[in-house]
Structure 1
Amino acid sequence: MDLVTEQDRPAKAPAKEERRVTRGEEVTRQIADDIIHGRLSPGVKLDEVEVARRFGTSRTPVREALGQLCAMGLAERVAYRGVVVSRIAADRLADMFVVMAELEASAARLAALQMTPAERRGLELLHLASRDLVRRGDREAYAQHNSEFHSTLYAGSHNSYLEELLVATRKRLNPFRRAQFNLLGRLTSSHGEHDQVVQAILRGDADAAALAMRGHVMTVSAASAEYVGHQTSGQTQMKNE
């Protein structure tokens, strides 16, 4: 397949979240982080009224958030109890990351073939700009950059259906992907993995781009599982003390 080199195709700027985050999404993110970081233990009931009071919001966004948490596998509906925090299933998480790795590898392959020169330059600049975040150890800002980096690649595939699948799958894994950056040295290694993907795309090497991206996502899978495992063992130790 030939490289796309036409200069007149409109370039897509590095993706940034411009729309306003809904209250339901804010609640979802905070509760998801609380679960993954061990602040909410398996079996704890997520009562609509209590959650609404905690976040100072109505019950409508809370219902939205609880539905999203159930879809992520972080919570479940139990008869006569309502929504409770789930125990994170390691095998389920691993399965989801395998699918994500293959989807992202496909996106990286297509991006290496389809990105315009302007899009490639935009990806490179976005990647280079993140070095300062790594030096500062700014986990929150790097997590935002990470989302923008991957979204830029999705757009660069020029395949809208693949992009839809990626966004939907990533939404379910986002809390775990954010959590990995709490591991020592993970910002540096993540940046290095991104660099391999970027360099392959810049030289139009589709196979290398797919291989680098697949390896990157599987490393994310291992890092996420490691962090979640630490939190789970911490909870178990607290219960046994």
Structure 2
Amino acid sequence: MDSAIDTAPSTLKAGEPADRSLPAASSAGPAGGVKRKAGDIRDRLEQEIATGTHPAGERLDEQVIAARFGVSRTPVREAINQLVAGGLVERIPNRGAFVRAMGLAELVEMFEVMAELEAMAGRLAARRIDAAGAKRLETALVACEAAADREAHDAYYYENERFHEAIYDACGNAFLAGEARRLHLRLKAFRRLQLRFPHRMRQSLAEHRRIVAAIEAGDGPGAEAELKGHILVQGERFADLVATLKP
């Protein structure tokens, strides 16, 4: 089964009007605006690839995408580069950028490895976290709570990223943190998608609270178990969501 689930044909047609639901660019200046637009486009394409709107093997045409979102090709090119870095898209010399085939079995395997890496990071963080690290972790938890209260799934995902980053930094093992970050990037689209499963965001938040409690208590085995379950359930929820997307 490909990562791009066959639920609908691509809607990226030449001459389409700009997608006006794209958030406004940052007012921080031209460079900041391009970066913001690229991130917004990446997020939209990322979700569409994960849900099968753009199936495996489809070519992503920069000009068509730029017309769709009403932007120049510069942020589109940057967005596609980010998708390439995340493993969702591959560039083929002299042909362009294409949605990469990724089977459900491969995704489940990556979630299993991710669970082990996060579990180890949590166990080490419980032994090594300092006052500054604990404060950063608590701040990230509060931000997750605020996003959950607003039912803001995408905002919650990005606060969730910061939450896990705090754990990676607190573990005191740069190699482990680097490997976790690389795999986190590969799974980003699917970790975002599973948060839209009914009640998953609230369940994730409850898991975050237990993780923080274990780390702050210096309970290495407890933090390890909580983080492992936290990631494995994401893989299960993703598989459930895929099943609901089948025609």
TM-score range, shorter chain: 0.7 to 0.9
User: Pick from 163, 175, 178: which aligns with 1:149?
Assistant: 163
The answer to whether 1:138 aligns with 2:152 is yes
User: Pick from 50, 61, 68: which aligns with 1:47?
Assistant: 61
The total of aligned residue pairs comes to 215
Stretches (4+) displaced over 6 A? none
The answer to whether 1:91 aligns with 2:105 is yes
**CA, structure 1 residues 99+55, in 2 after alignment: closer, same or farther (shift >3 Å)?**
same
Is contact 2:60–2:99 with CA below 8 Å preserved after alignment?
yes
Superposition deviation, residue 72 in structure 1? 3.8
Q: Give the gaps of 5 or more residues in structure 1.
A: 1-18
The farther-off stretch of 91-100 and 51-60 is 51-60
Is contact 2:194–2:237 with CA below 8 Å preserved after alignment?
yes
SS in 2 for 1:182: coil
Superposition deviation, residue 43 in structure 1? 4.0
User: Pick from 193, 210, 213: which aligns with 2:224?
Assistant: 210
**CA, structure 1 residues 73+225, in 2 after alignment: closer, same or farther (shift >3 Å)?**
farther
Superposition deviation, residue 87 in structure 1? 4.5
- Alignment partner, residue 119 of structure 1: 133
The farther-off stretch of 221-230 and 142-151 is 221-230
Q: How many angstroms apart in 2 are the aligned matches of 1:127 and 1:80?
A: 46
The amino acid that maps onto 2:205 is: H
Q: Give the gaps of 5 or more residues in structure 2.
A: 1-30
Is contact 2:128–2:172 with CA below 8 Å preserved after alignment?
yes
Give the RMSD, CA atoms, in angstroms: 2.7
Provide, for residues 126-154 of structure 1, a one-character-per-residue CA deviation record: whole Å limited to 9, x for no partner: 32443343233221221121111111111
The amino acid that maps onto 2:116 is: E
The amino acid that maps onto 2:154 is: E
Superposition deviation, residue 210 in structure 1? 1.0
Is contact 1:73–1:88 with CA below 8 Å preserved after alignment?
no
The 5-angstrom pairing of residues 173-184 of structure 1 reads: 173-184=187-198
Superposition deviation, residue 88 in structure 1? 3.9
The answer to whether 1:199 aligns with 2:217 is no
SS in 2 for 1:173: helix
Superposition deviation, residue 215 in structure 1? 1.0
Whose relative contact order is higher, 1 or 2, with alpha carbons under 8 Å and at least 6 apart?
A: 1
- Alignment partner, residue 184 of structure 2: 170
Identity value in percent: 35
The answer to whether 1:27 aligns with 2:41 is yes
Provide, for residues 19-59 of structure 1, a one-character-per-residue CA deviation record: whole Å limited to 9, x for no partner: 96465444332211111233323443212322233344554
Q: How many angstroms apart in 2 are the aligned matches of 1:176 and 1:168?
A: 14
- Alignment partner, residue 174 of structure 2: 160
The farther-off stretch of 23-32 and 73-82 is 73-82
